[in-house]
Amino acid sequence: MRAFARSAAVLAALSIAGAGISVAAAADAPPIPVEFESPVASPQPLHGFLRLPGSGPSPAVVLLHGCGGGWRGLDARWGPRLSAWGYVTLTVDRFGTRGIQSACTGGAPPATAYDAYRALSFLKHHPAVDPERIAVIGFSQGAWLALLSVERGSIERNAKDKFRAAVGFYPPCLGFKDDMTVPTLIMVGELDDWTPARECRNLAEGRDDWGISREKGKGVPIELIVHPGAFHDFDIPEFVTPRQLLGHRLEFNQAALESSIDALKKFLYATIGSKEKQP
């Protein structure tokens, strides 16, 4: 993956920052390929796409794709939009260096559990990023990993660096036993038959997988938005003609997309601010 050399990314970052181009212009620029660690530092160095909204330091977000991969498509859908809002974005390819084509039948590969924090470490040391204002946003299986990264558990406890907020688009909401440590937003379709909304309601309302209430008043509350009439992958335009995958319906929903864009923009502004720090 020589094309993903970190040195090239740093040079590109400095050139963009030095040029003083506008946020809007930066959002239209192509993403910068980056490699998180050299092969010497890690047997499976991650790579991804970095987008810079102009001169820093700026708040940033890590983007995690779903079980089918598609990290380039995720970057194309959300990277320019978030960059236009003033956020540095890092879209992670969780599968490429591991030789994984899909992980839709066996759950998230255990090796990917710390990928969000590896991306966080990269961003915290980047000159264009405000290290105290970084959030993680995941989609489907990537959303499960995003929530896992901020749940009060072994992963979050052992992490030196911390996220300030988390967002999950249609995550599998089963299996979370501890509370969230930072503000968390979950968005799911009302008709999602892969990651059901009722399971996310249980999580947001403090009940476990069997509907039993957990301790009240612990952790940070979860904000849940259920989009009416929406199925899984409601933000992916290529599913304007619905498809079936492993018996589940995937369908684009324009109304749900627009609502989620508005909700995400407000949530990020409230939690990690805009390009200028909030009081």
**% the chain with pLDDT above 70:** 82
Q: Please determine, for residue 247, whether its predicted confidence score (pLDDT) is greater than 80.
A: yes
pLDDT higher for 107 or 83? 83
Mean pLDDT (the chain, rounded) = 86
Q: What pLDDT score does 162 carry?
A: 95
Handedness of CA 211, 214, 217, 220 (dihedral sign): negative
Distance in angstroms (rounded) separating the CA atoms of residues 2 and 14: 20
CA angle 167, 86, 157 (to 5 degrees): 40
Q: Give the count of beta carbons closer than 10 Å to the beta carbon of residue 65.
A: 25
Query: pLDDT by residue (tens digit) across 141-190?
Result: 999 999 999 998 888 888 889 999 999 999 999 888 778 999 999 999 99
Q: Could you give the percent of the chain with pLDDT greater than 90? A: 65
* pLDDT band for position 71 (cuts 50, 70, 90): very high
Average pLDDT estimate for 207-225 = 73
CA distances from 142 to 9, 24, 66, 68, 113 (A): 24, 27, 5, 10, 10
Instruction: Please check whether residue 88 is in contact with residue 48, taking contact to mean a CB–CB distance below 8 angstroms.
Output: no
pLDDT at 4: 38
State both tokens at 164: 């300030």
Confidence of residue 23 (pLDDT cuts 50, 70, 90): low
Among 6-20, 26-40, 92-106, whose mean pLDDT is lowest? 6-20
Q: What are the structural domain ranges in the chain?
A: 2-98+107-271
Q: Which amino acid is at 224?
A: L
Q: Is the pLDDT of residue 199 over 80?
A: yes
**Is-contact 173 200, C-beta < 8 A?**
yes
Read off the pTM: 0.87
- Lowest mean per-residue pLDDT among 10-14, 29-33, 70-74: 10-14
In the chain, the N- to C-terminal Cα span, in Å, equals 42
State the architecture of 2-98+107-271 in CATH terms.
Answer: 3-Layer(aba) Sandwich (3.40)
- Segment 126-147 shows an average pLDDT of 97
Question: Looking at the predicted structure, is the pLDDT value of residue 10 above 60?
Answer: no
Q: What is the per-residue pLDDT for 102? A: 92
- Alpha-carbon gap, residue 133 to 163, rounded angstroms: 8
- Classify strands 88-93 and 47-51 as parallel, antiparallel or unpaired: antiparallel
Instruction: Give the pLDDT band (50/70/90) at residue 212.
Output: low
Q: 34 pairs with which residues across the strands?
A: 48
pLDDT of residue 227 exceeding 60: yes
Say if CB 179 and CB 156 are below 8 A apart.
no
Distance CA 162, CA 146 (A): 12
Asked if 85 contacts 156 with a C-beta cutoff of 8 angstroms, the reply is no
For 109, 111, 120, 231, the CA distances from 38, given in Å and listed in that order, are 22, 17, 16, 39
d(CA 156, CA 222): 17
